[in-house]
Amino acid sequence: MMKPETTPHIFFDYNRKDLDNEILLKLYRGMLKPRMIEEKMLILLRQGKVSKWFSGIGQEAISVGITAVLDKDEYILPMHRNLAVFTMRDIPLHRLFSQWQGKANGFTKGRDRSFHFGTQEFHIVGMISHLGPQFGVADGIALANKLKGNNKVCAVFTGEGGTSEGDIHEALNVASVWQLPVLFCVENNGYGLSTPTNEQYNCENIADRGKGYGMEAHIIEGNDILEVYTKLKNLVESMRINPRPVLLEFKTFRMRGHEEASGTKYVPTDLIDEWGLRDPLLNYESYLLNEGVLSEEKIQEFKDEFKHEIDENLDIAFAEPKIESTEANELNDVYKEFKYQEVKENSKKENIRLIDAISQGLKQSMERHDNLVIMGQDVAEYGGVFKITEGFVEQFGKDRVRNTPICESAIVSAAMGLSINGYKAIVEMQFADFVTSGFNPIINYLAKSHYRWSEKADVVVRMPCGAGVGAGPFHSQTNEAWFTHTPGLKVVYPAFPYDAKGLLATSIEDPNPVMFFEHKALYRSIRQDVPTDYYTLPLGKASLLKEGKDVTIITYGAGVHWALDTLDQNQEISADLIDLRTLVPLDTEAIYNSVKKTGKVIILQEDSMFGGIASDISALIMENCFEYLDAPVKRVASLETPIPFAANLESAYLPKQKFKEILLDLLSY
Ligand SMILES: Cc1ncc(C[n+]2csc(CCOP(=O)(O)OP(=O)(O)O)c2C)c(N)n1
């Protein structure tokens, strides 16, 4: 043990209250083990056997106290300094060591490092590097607990630096509005990387913010294990009876660098000395010795036991071979396997608009899946700004049709939490443009979870999108390319009521995250005969709307209708018209088959050109069908500008007119 020379006197005024010796020793052992693991890791780091280490030395009492009061099936969402959460849940050490060495017996198949993993087996949901989304995920887990009525509490951690992130504020607000049983644990350890607290926030205590959120909050001496344990025990017991969020600020200190390589030069040495006197383990050890609960022999016995356990498990991890994989295996794990089940359509049809088809599809999915929750701004009594969820509250209740505060990021994160805890979630973006405010959890949490730790993200994000409605730069974007670029997401973009209803049903069945684009200009303008009952359509299948021999037109969304209009007005053109319907997965087979037949291709997208999906489809065609081409592949897209408001500017921005000209040009090539 690295025992500072200063310790033997006891800094804390420990109060064991009515705790028996067994608990006192459990807490001691709970802190001793991660301390010994860390000390071993520091040695291995110096020997180059571990790549990076984020030390929680000096902060163990918080993780130990919290994990000790929660039941094993109550979720904990730790950060990078909470090793004790993992050891207190009795994860076999060799699995942790394998994780840190990027080996197969870890939790991420070598795909993510350090504490960036979760495990359903141990009810732990690890962090993503971006820190803040953890709080929103905890909201979702707690919401699921509340909906189940199981009286469970969950705990989530952050450092004080992380509390400056918008995600954290959003999640605290949502938890308070929805009264979610979450312990929000802020470990205030003085520094965020090198930034001291006075450059991080300008209030006296982070717990003071509880008042602003309308939330109970407490300050806890984070290095006093008995204070942590006893306060938390009472709180958790009362939260189980009376579910509510609680904000906790633990005063503690980061005794080592942010990570080992970055050192502590910027930390005044007297501060380190001062906090060295408050070491949670050494003080507690002295106290237990004084109390006669512990003896020097017992300490040695525990240390020998842990040393043996650590060494033995390290041997197992070191003996494990380097991870092997194949490209196919890596690609295969990006998505959770989903076996499409066809639900055949009934013969009764009614002529309805796109918007009605989506509403019907949603409603029938709500009837089919008891565990499906819809969240969005104004989606409850108001029915959403497009009235798609009108009447849903009456049928499904406010628990499952939830108005949210204006906080896209926390709600997407909460959707992830619902999925982790057994629910399906639909998040309605009021307009697809606003997804920027929920971008982080979509790109980093939903999309990457299955690849990282085999956890599904059973979430559909509905995206009312598109121009042609005179709504200007912030209510008109069709931003699918932001998502088609991100492995792990599926992207669906129907152009007709029939497709929209069936594809939405499948998107909801699919346990993977789906971005579901709904074109606003088509909502009320496109009608079709649609089966009245529930049915599904497969993702990844384009539809061939027209067959011809001279050219292939590939498009989706509003582009489909522009192409249909153009072909209507130019009956002499003999074209294959492909409506992609889903962009990820992309039906390359339908594309190549048609191109091989016609030899000429034009790809039409509503989005601006550069970096859009038309460019990728064009590249795929050139790589796979070059010898069949009789002309260069043409792309047609909107101008490289934001979307203007005035009707004439907007129509000059959109590519409908340009499409006709380029198509005619291509035909005469
Ligand atoms: C969004 C984001 N910005 C910056 C970082 C880089 N970063 C990682 S941890 C960290 C400091 C976090 O400080 P704090 O929340 O106080 O936790 P501590 O490390 O002190 O335990 C920073 C700046 C990050 N991971 N994510």
Architecture in CATH of 543-668: 3-Layer(aba) Sandwich (3.40)
- Residue (of 195, 134, 193) closest to 167 by Cα position: 134
Catalytic residues: 475
Contacts of 562 (CB under 8 A, 6+ apart): 555, 604, 655, 656, 659
Contacts of 665 (CB under 8 A, 6+ apart): 634
The pLDDT value recorded for residue 1 is 40
- Closest CA to ligand 1's atom 19: 192
Over range 460-487, report the average pLDDT. Answer: 97
Distance from residue 162's CA to the centre of ligand 1 (Å)? 6
- Closest CA to ligand 1's atom 17: 159
**Token pair 């628990």 in the structure block, residue:** 399
Over range 400-409, report the average pLDDT. Answer: 98
* Per-residue pLDDT reduced to its tens digit, 326-346: 999 999 999 999 999 999 999
- Closest CA to ligand 1's atom 23: 193
Residue 378 has pLDDT above 90, yes or no: yes
Answer whether 627's CB lies under 8 Å from 567's CB.
Answer: no
Distance from residue 208's CA to the centre of ligand 1 (Å)? 21
Distance from residue 163's CA to the centre of ligand 1 (Å)? 10
- Ligand 1: nearest atom to the Cα of 56: 21
Tell me which of 170, 188, 193, 197 to substitute to probe ligand 1's pocket, judged by most ligand atoms within 8 Å of the beta carbon: 193
Residue 628 has pLDDT above 60, yes or no: yes
Helix (H), strand (E), coil (C) string for 540-590: CCCEEEECCCCEEEEECCHHHHHHHHHHHHCCCCCEEEEECCEEECCCHHH
Distance from residue 90's CA to the centre of ligand 1 (Å)? 27
- Closest CA to ligand 1's atom 13: 192
The pLDDT value recorded for residue 8 is 62
Q: Any idea what the Cα angle at residue 454 is, between residues 40 and 400, rounded to 5°?
A: 120
- Residue (of 235, 231, 211) closest to 221 by Cα position: 231
Which parts of 166-260 are beta strand (E)?
182-188, 191-192, 195-196, 216-221, 246-251
Tell me which of 80, 184, 258 to substitute to probe ligand 1's pocket, judged by most ligand atoms within 8 Å of the beta carbon: 258
Q: Hey, do 21-319 and 543-668 end up sharing a CATH topology, with the first three levels equal?
A: yes
Question: 7: pLDDT confidence band, cut at 50, 70 and 90?
Answer: very low
User: DSSP for 348-416?
Assistant: -EEEEEHHHHHHHHHHHHHHH-TTEEEEETT-STT--TT-TTTTHHHHH-TTTEEE--S-HHHHHHHHH
CATH topology of domain 349-531: Rossmann fold (3.40.50)
Residue 6 has pLDDT above 80, yes or no: no
Reduced to 3 states (helix: H, G, I; strand: E, B; else coil), residue 5 is coil
Answer whether 265's CB lies under 8 Å from 259's CB.
Answer: no
Task: For residues 37 and 54, give the distance between their C-alpha atoms in angstroms, rounded to a whole number.
Answer: 12
* Per-residue pLDDT reduced to its tens digit, 311-322: 999 999 999 999
- Residue (of 390, 374, 521) closest to 459 by Cα position: 374
- Ligand 1: nearest atom to the Cα of 160: 16
Over range 496-520, report the average pLDDT. Answer: 98
Task: For residues 219 and 203, give the distance between their C-alpha atoms in angstroms, rounded to a whole number.
Answer: 14
* Per-residue pLDDT reduced to its tens digit, 288-304: 999 999 999 999 999 99
CATH number of 21-319: 1.10.3300.10, 1.10.580.10, 3.10.50.40, 3.40.50.970?
3.40.50.970
- Closest CA to ligand 1's atom 20: 192
Pocket of ligand 1 (CB under 6 A): 81, 129-131, 158-162, 189, 191-193, 254, 258
Over range 149-167, report the average pLDDT. Answer: 98
* Per-residue pLDDT reduced to its tens digit, 175-229: 999 999 999 999 999 999 999 999 999 999 999 999 999 999 999 999 999 999 9
Distance from residue 405's CA to the centre of ligand 1 (Å)? 26
Calculate the dihedral angle through the C-alpha atoms of 538, 540, 546, 551, rounding to the nearest 10 degrees.
Answer: -170
Domain ranges across the chain: 21-319, 349-531, 543-668
The pLDDT value recorded for residue 9 is 79
